[in-house]
Structure 1
Amino acid sequence: MDDIQAIEECFKKIANNLTDWIPEGIAEVDIDLLQRLNLLNVNNEEEDDELTRYFHVIESQEKITLVNEQFVVWIVPDLVDGVPITYTIIALNKEAFPHPEVAFATSGVYNTSRLVLKVLERYLHEILENEDVLTDLKLLDP
């Protein structure tokens, strides 16, 4: 899906019912999540040639939308009780309606553009790995 208007409509539907789309909820970025994603090891700057890093960027007053053939990502800044928070929603872009896979929020010392992008990249990598496993399982199913 690369129709900007359709992507905007998808965002509205997803954002209005995020708990229905992502029942596990929004992951809060903290030290535990960074540890789980292996982002605390500064020597772990691995490059993954399979991960598509080229996105079409759509900026609006309320959010930044990143779109490529694999993903739609919405990065939404917000202010909750005077505290800046950045919400990020990652959806697979392989059907008529992007399917949300994960959402995370950064605030406080974790709310930096560099960290948001590192966490985003790690989640994109995990989603691609999961999709590869699912594809392999489908190929094995008679």
Structure 2
Amino acid sequence: MDSDINGEKLPSLTFRSHHPKSKKEITLDLPIINGGMGVGVTGPALASEVTNQGGGGVLTGVGLGYPFQRILNKYLDEKPYEANRLALIDWIKETKEKCNGGFVGVNIMVAIYDFKELAYNCARSGVDFIVAGAGLPTALPDI
């Protein structure tokens, strides 16, 4: 189904899995994916609203654990990267709930220390796609 915005027809956007064991295909009625802005800017409210309007919502994948004092207190001294991972899992769950399991992705910088672990946790948490920037995501096919 094509979208109509101000009299202009926009074609739908279809994503297909590149995993050899998956035939998953998702079509967005509105061919728009919001940008994943870091350090907690692109959260569940924006990503779920974009998805609910027919586009692809994208969460930020970095700098999430630090604004949340409870996570900071629990994990920062022992495992500083754990705070971000746990907050991201919470945000994925919250976003999926707000958009009834709709099409949701996460933006992760390849250059960060724990890119591979974050990408793995995103996949296990049910995200539909990963936007990988700031480097070549050579580890992604192995996840």
TM-score scaled by length of structure 1: 0.27
Answer 1 or 2: higher relative contact order, Cα 8 Å, separation at least 6: 1
More helix by share: 1
Greater per-residue strand proportion: 1
